[in-house]
Structure 1
Amino acid sequence: MNEVQLHIENVRQAAAKITAALGNLKPKIAIILGSGLGGLAKQVEAPVILAYKDLPGFPVLTVAGHAGQLIIGKLNDVPVIVLNGRKHFYETGDAYPLKTMIRAMKAAGVETLFLSNAAGSLRAPIKVSELMLITDHINFLGLNPLVGPNDDSFGPRFFPVADAWDKELGAKVKAVARQNGITLHEGVYVAFRGPSFETPAEIRMAQGWGGDAVGMSSVPDCLIARHCGMKVVGVSCITNMGAGLSDEKLSHAHTLENAAKGAGAFERLVLAAVKVL
């Protein structure tokens, strides 16, 4: 069995395990929790928890703030699947674990993927601990997770991404934020591969491109989901200003600390948003 055949089999087996665990629930939305945003997982009602390590082909996680659990249940009485943690491309050059995770969601009946991440602000008005709706992205990872053999059963070889971040769903999230008094900026997310934080010169470059926030995830997730026909909406939790824009000393511990400051607003936003998405 070659790696493509193994991937297809892993998606099939993982989706079967997830479907069996769903019981009578039929969740149409899955939420991937970014660094420091795992607290939302504790709010899932009547949770059924599957460890990533027990799902064939799912990623093995190594970064603090990513628990590696798939949680089935309800948020605000809405059936959901919560994915507590992701594999980043600073950990690996292998896209198959992330593809398996997202494609298994699709095979289990999920139609919408809600992405979240911790990000650095590129604009002074977008402050630390605030949230930003992702309206578009710039892929500066140096890779695309869909490079390699294409299986038409998942999606087409070539596909447009002008609507990568769903405008209708984004408008619903913005309306929910207004109704609940939650500050929600909107802007373009620039993805760098990491694991080093960006230099001040790279931050100025990203600003010049029209970027509003910078991070190390979510773009591959979005591309994989759109390839297989899922709708995508995403929110960044701002954990720092980009290098050179403040006197902060950037570190992963600093990211997790500031993500915790914005986590309350993020959780309130998601709990309200799942009702309308």
Structure 2
Amino acid sequence: MSESTPERPAMWTADAKDVAAEAANELKYRSGADSYDAVVVLGSGWAGAVESLGQPDIELEIAELPGFVPPGAIGHAPTVRSMWVGAKRIAVFMGRTHLYEGYDAMQVAHAVRTGIAAGAGTVLLTGSAGSLRADFAVGQPVVVRDHINLTGTSPLAGPDFVDLSNAYTPWLRQTAHETDGSLTTGVYAALPGPQFQTPAELSMLRTAGADLVGHSIALETIAAAEMGADVLAIAMVSNDAMSGLFGGADYDRALGVVQQRAWHLGALLNGILMRT
């Protein structure tokens, strides 16, 4: 990787896409796939969703693919699984890297870029999130309709601008609601972590219009939008974030909430992909 200068960062968007193309070629070669129809990124606690998501084909260590670093966060696996959902071939990343692990935005978005470079026109992002609304129950999946990127960074660097007005594809959100009529929607606030928010920060986020708060999804969505892919994001409410106003947050308990519901979440993703 080249060194950054005041005139140019260490990696521009075009450079990141070149590395993703190399990784995509290696992924296709190792899996025997000509192309992929969709890419899925599983968030904290979602790994068990793969069991009901589709028919497994082959699983690879992502560290063996160019540009990848294995995730280190609890609840994330360092593998990518090639799967079939009906007649669609899907690349499922069993975990993700985060800013709070010391990686930059380009690395955080690398899995999504790789999947798209491998042919995927549809991106399904998942994650866990704290709820900022009294009517969102713990254990409830929420379709993300928009985000507030408060990470202070972007997976884009260069002279080209990207329109994010429909970053979360309307027809995919509609497909999700047709698959499960009980789904609701919300605005996701992305922060760098790893710390949970202070009571004052939570109040500010709620006032700003956020319904959910987490440490992922936004940067991957930006990268996918730049590459012209359709994006659907689903966040599982793992905890009542506003409880931080009255007591401490418990990461292990929040992770357990998602893990207990992972099989049903995989079935939801399967239903959505079957309709696309």
Tell me the TM-score normalized by structure 2. 0.89
> How much has 1:92 moved relative to structure 2?
2.1
Residue 171 of structure 1 is matched in structure 2 by: 174
> How many residues were matched structurally?
266
- 1:1-42, Cα deviation, whole Å (9 max, x unpaired): 625487455323211111223435643111100000101223
Given that 1:113 and 1:225 are in contact with CA atoms closer than 8 Å, whether structure 2 keeps it comes out as yes
- 1:27-64, Cα deviation, whole Å (9 max, x unpaired): 31111000001012234423211111100101321111
Amino acid at match of 1:232: V
Provide the secondary structure at the position in 1 that maps to 2:274.
coil
Provide the secondary structure at the position in 1 that maps to 2:72.
coil
Given that 2:123 and 2:230 are in contact with CA atoms closer than 8 Å, whether structure 1 keeps it comes out as yes
2:232 maps to 1:222: no
- 1:76-118, Cα deviation, whole Å (9 max, x unpaired): 5532111111111111252232343222212110101100000
Name which of structure 1's ranges 118-127 and 5-14 shifts more when overlaid on structure 2. Answer: 5-14
**Structure 2 spans left out of the alignment, 5+ residues:** 3-9
Amino acid at match of 1:42: E
1:187-198 equivalent positions in 2, closer than 5 A: 187-198=186-197
Percent identity between matched residues is 27
Equivalent in 4, 19, 23 of residue 10 of structure 1: 19
Equivalent in 33, 40, 46 of residue 37 of structure 1: 46
**In structure 2, how many angstroms separate the alpha carbons of the residues matched to 1:203 and 1:236?**
18
**Structure 1 spans left out of the alignment, 5+ residues:** 151-156
Amino acid at match of 1:166: T
**In structure 1, how many angstroms separate the alpha carbons of the residues matched to 2:213 and 2:90?**
28
Residue 27 of structure 1 is matched in structure 2 by: 36
- 1:114-135, Cα deviation, whole Å (9 max, x unpaired): 0000000111111000110000
Residue 154 of structure 1 is matched in structure 2 by: none
Given that 2:132 and 2:202 are in contact with CA atoms closer than 8 Å, whether structure 1 keeps it comes out as yes
Tell me the TM-score normalized by structure 1. 0.88
Provide the secondary structure at the position in 2 that maps to 1:90.
helix
Equivalent in 74, 98, 119 of residue 129 of structure 2: 119
Given that 1:25 and 1:79 are in contact with CA atoms closer than 8 Å, whether structure 2 keeps it comes out as no
Amino acid at match of 2:179: V
Given that 1:198 and 1:243 are in contact with CA atoms closer than 8 Å, whether structure 2 keeps it comes out as no
> How much has 1:243 moved relative to structure 2?
3.6
Residue 89 of structure 2 is matched in structure 1 by: 79
Provide the secondary structure at the position in 2 that maps to 1:165.
coil
Provide the secondary structure at the position in 2 that maps to 1:190.
strand
